[in-house]
Homo-oligomer: A and B are copies of this chain.
Amino acid sequence: MQHKSIGRLISILHRQSQIYTNKALKEFSLTSAEYPFLFALYTKEGRTQEELSSYLYIDKAATTRIIRSLLAKGYVTRVQDGLDRRCNRIFLTEKAKQQQEEIRGRVMQWNAYITEGLDDETYQNAFAALQKMVDQVENTPLFENLE
């Protein structure tokens, strides 16, 4: 077992990504916490907060607050589901749709920067490995068996 822990690198990249995207999205009044929700909705509108939370692995309390913020900024609308009135379904506003390409471009620029110098195969392999780690999180005994 090497002391080369992958955790440190992941933490660093996460923090630096937040710093970058916060600056890059400032002119849209969007934050590093908010854009992942927009991205999730760009692929499929009308998701419930529950679906967004589990897709992004973010606490539902955080989702509540971020959706409220996106609502206030005019990026999304919230509609109570008619069949299951516990659910809020989230939709994009025209503003969000119009700015989609530019917002996505800004964020993707970060990806482009940090993966500069990696050939495509290396990138794809790294992506696949990280995806496997995320999958592994789910079926892990850890979260129950701690003391």
Interface set of A (CB-CB < 8 Å, partner B): 1, 3-17, 19-20, 23-24, 26-27, 36, 39, 43, 56-58, 107-118, 122-123, 125-127, 129-134, 136-137, 140, 142-143, 146-147
Contact across chains for B147 and A27 when beta carbons are under 8 A apart? yes
The count of identical subunits is 2
Specify the main secondary structure of chain A where it touches its partner.
helix
Contact across chains for A129 and B118 when beta carbons are under 8 A apart? yes
Distance A65 CA – B122 CA, assembled complex (angstroms): 38
Contact across chains for A23 and B143 when beta carbons are under 8 A apart? yes
Tell me the nearest residue of chain B to A114, going by C-beta.
Answer: B133
Please indicate the chain B residues that have their CB under 8 angstroms from the CB of A5 in the complex. 39, 107-108, 111
Distance A4 CA – B112 CA, assembled complex (angstroms): 12
Please indicate the chain B residues that have their CB under 8 angstroms from the CB of A137 in the complex. 12-13, 16, 114
